[in-house]
Amino acid sequence: MLILECPYCGIMADETELTPGGEAHLKRATVGSTDDAFESYLFDRKNPKGVHFERWRHSAGCGKWFHAARSTTTLEVYGTYAAQVSEPPKELVAKIKKKCPGWEGWQ
Amino acid sequence: MRRYSAFAIAREGLRYHTGWERAWASPEPKKRYDAIVVGAGGHGLATAYYLGKNHGIKNVAVIEKGWLGGGNTGRNTTIIRSNYLQDPSAAIYEKARSLYETMSQDLNMNVMFSPRGVIMLAQTHHEVRGYQRTAHANALQGVATEWIGPQRVKELVPIIRLDGPRYPVLGGLWQPRGGTARHDAVAWAYARACSAMGMDIIQNCAVTGIETEDGAVKAVNTTKGRIETAKLALVVAGHSSELAGMAGFRLPIESVALQALVSEPIKPAMDVVVMANTVHGYMSQSDKGEMVIGGGTDGFNNYTQRGSFHHVEETVRALVETFPMLSRLKMMRQWGGIVDMTGDRSPILSKTPVGGIYVNAGWGTGGFKSIPGSGWAMAELVAKDAPGPLAAAFGLDRFREGRFIDESVAAGVAH
Ligand SMILES: Cc1cc2nc3c(=O)[nH]c(=O)nc-3n(C[C@H](O)[C@H](O)[C@H](O)COP(=O)(O)OP(=O)(O)OC[C@H]3O[C@@H](n4cnc5c(N)ncnc54)[C@H](O)[C@@H]3O)c2cc1C
Ligand SMILES: [Zn+2]
């Protein structure tokens, strides 16, 4: 079972307490964006085999959204962090790079 | 290819079964093919088969990184039905269901298609309205389904409890010509027929890169070397994003785990397929007597072919509620597969931004039933470089244009 630490209440939360919210750090398309930008914002996903940055909600706990970095091939969790950022924290990215030398980076 | 028949069984019986041939050849790849299909699941093999049978394109290779049928085709719970809501879905799923009826004869192999009937239970008033609407839509589409009341459900499924603790059974959508088939046999039968046409099925060979030139496909790189082709069909289910990435584009697909389990074998107890979408579980009894059980997907991206234990618990709870006699059954095996989910829960059969590359994916939790129809439509798309009537609505452009084929409401749960 997947266990993620909620960065707000500090609880190690079971999968059953959490709701997955899909790929994180999408660039929102808005007024004036091209059709291409809208299409990729709404539908196209990286869906990587490996490191994935994603959104989760502590739905049966504090109710807040947060971020997690996780491997989709081993289910290893690299870390969780707050929702109020538009990219993953540098230390986390560095930590993942060290663990997965072949990784092409979060973008 | 030596044909299978009652006489062949008698003949081999008399000579200690020494005369059976291998069902398909295992050749080394050639330098070049007219068309390459990546993925020897049911959809890839059926695509190759109809390329040869319907369009005369036989210089074809099917490239598979593991063993053929070892992906979702060999991991599913084999429910076959075509009672979808939207017209394009009904058309392709009903084409597939009707091809299943004659598949054993067509491919000369017993795929054990069993049109035993499928009931989708309605357990909320919302579901009642939804399924009645689907029954009306199916009548217009020429798909034989029927809305039935609780007493008829009980007649068809004597082990069911109509007045469950949470959700009473209010009726159901009944498709008498739906059913099950033997999943491995479907893959093997297509593989054998492709091999007999002279196609190469290359197992234990992963595609690792795609070469393009002037916006069109040139070759694939594999663990058995470089192979040239002018047409490339990507039919790799949960791995579609990875293959699309090799060709330089993204897909509106996310890969998640879906799991199933089977009980110990028991005497015949239920001779139809029952799906209970509100409580989230479905069940049929295999010919060996095992109860074959499935439920929902995990919600997060995953390539591990495992499932979460809490989903097993949720599914079993739902089914014990619906079939109380199950509470004494032992569960024997559990497994998972990686399914390819699109936003509207409908598949993609499409040209791609790269010339000569076609994608068949997004069947998600419900693509066993569609294997022959999908192969039929995909072969036409690959052969003519344009979709025919069955595939036309399933292009990638539907996302951009907002022309969704929304089956997420109609399907509710897996398959
Ligand atoms: C537990 C479970 C239950 C299900 N129940 C049902 C059901 O009851 N009814 C129903 O209709 N559907 C059901 N489905 C869905 C159904 O199984 C799938 O939609 C269908 O089998 C997909 O077939 P496919 O040929 O597209 O994919 P697959 O059978 O998965 O084949 C894809 C193949 O591509 C290969 N591949 C991947 N990457 C590469 C590469 N780089 N190079 C070469 N080869 C590669 C894989 O090894 C694999 O063999 C279920 C699925 C699961 C997991
Ligand atoms: Zn919390």
Looking at every residue in chain B, the average pLDDT score rounds to: 95
Ligand lying nearest the CA atom of residue A61 = 2
The pLDDT value recorded for residue B411 is 47
> What DSSP string describes A7-65?
TTT--EEEGGG-EEEEE-S-----TT--HHHHHHHHT-B---SSEEEEEEE-TTTT--E
Q: Which residues have CB less than 5 Å away from ligand 2 (the ion)? A: A 6, 8-9, 58, 61-62
User: Are A19 and B303 a contacting pair at CB < 8 A?
Assistant: no
What is the tens place of the pLDDT at every residue in B189-206? Answer: 999 999 999 999 999 999
Residue of chain A minimizing CA distance to B244: A46
Tokens matching residue A50: 């490996």
Backbone angles phi, psi at B112, to 5 degrees: 55, 40
Token look-up 């609505």 returns B393
Q: Where are the alpha helices (DSSP H) in B149-250?
A: 150-156, 183-196, 240-247
B298 Cα: distance to centroid of ligand 1 (angstroms): 16
User: Is there an atom of ligand 1 within 6 Å of B227 CB?
Assistant: no
What is the tens place of the pLDDT at every residue in B52-77? Answer: 999 999 999 999 999 999 999 999 99
Q: Is residue A83 part of a domain?
A: yes
What is the tens place of the pLDDT at every residue in B270-281? Answer: 999 999 998 889
Q: What is the C-alpha to C-alpha distance for residues B291 and B6, in angstroms, rounded to an integer?
A: 30
User: Are A20 and B300 a contacting pair at CB < 8 A?
Assistant: yes
User: Are B399 and A39 a contacting pair at CB < 8 A?
Assistant: yes
DSSP class of B33: E
The residue of A43, A46, A57, A76 whose CB has the most chain B CBs within 10 angstroms, and thus the best one to mutate to test that interface, is A43
Other C-beta atoms lying within 10 Å of the C-beta of residue B168: 14
What ipTM goes with this model? Answer: 0.95
pLDDT tens track, chain B, 415 positions: 899 999 999 999 999 999 999 999 999 999 999 999 999 999 999 999 999 999 999 999 999 999 999 999 999 999 999 999 999 999 999 999 999 999 999 999 999 999 999 999 999 999 999 999 999 999 999 999 999 999 999 999 999 999 988 999 999 999 999 999 999 999 999 999 999 999 999 999 999 999 999 999 999 999 999 999 999 999 999 999 999 999 999 999 999 999 999 999 999 999 999 999 988 899 999 999 999 999 889 889 999 998 888 889 999 999 999 999 999 999 999 999 999 999 899 999 999 999 999 999 999 999 999 999 999 999 999 999 999 999 999 999 999 999 999 987 544 455 5
User: Is there an atom of ligand 1 within 6 Å of B237 CB?
Assistant: yes
| CATH number for the domain harbouring residue A10 | 3.30.2270.10
Q: What is the C-alpha to C-alpha distance for residues B56 and B73, in angstroms, rounded to an integer?
A: 26
DSSP class of B222: E
CATH 3.50.50.60 applies to domain B11-78+183-252+344-410: yes
The residue of A47, A71, A73 whose CB has the most chain B CBs within 10 angstroms, and thus the best one to mutate to test that interface, is A47
Q: What is the C-alpha to C-alpha distance for residues B303 and B239, in angstroms, rounded to an integer?
A: 8
- Strand order of the sheet with strand B146-148? B146-148, B171-175, B118-122, B273-276, B281-285, B290-301, B254-265, B331-341
User: Are A45 and B241 a contacting pair at CB < 8 A?
Assistant: yes
Q: Identify residue B126 by its one-letter amino acid code.
A: H
| Total of domains in chain A | 1
Nearest CA to ligand 1 atom 37: B236
Structural domain harbouring A10: 3-99
List CB contacts (< 8 A) between A22 and chain B. Answer: 254, 301
Q: How far is CA B371 from the centre of its chain?
A: 5
- Count of CB pairs separated by less than 8 Å, A with B: 59
Q: Are B302 and B267 in contact (CB under 8 A)?
A: no
Nearest CA to ligand 1 atom 26: B237
Q: Identify residue B317 by its one-letter amino acid code.
A: R
What is the tens place of the pLDDT at every residue in B4-40? Answer: 999 999 999 999 999 999 999 999 999 999 999 999 9
What are the extents of the domains in chain B?
11-78+183-252+344-410, 113-180+255-341
| CA dihedral angle for residue B324, residue B325, residue B326, residue B329, rounded to 10 degrees | 150
User: Are A43 and B399 a contacting pair at CB < 8 A?
Assistant: yes
Measured between CB atoms, which of A43, A44, A47 is closest to B301? A47
User: Is there an atom of ligand 1 within 6 Å of B95 CB?
Assistant: no
CATH number for the domain running over B113-180+255-341:
3.30.9.10
User: Is there an atom of ligand 1 within 6 Å of B366 CB?
Assistant: yes
What is the tens place of the pLDDT at every residue in B356-372? Answer: 999 999 999 999 999 99
Q: Which atom of ligand 1 is nearest to the CA of B282?
A: 8
Token look-up 């093999």 returns B45
Q: Identify residue B156 by its one-letter amino acid code.
A: L
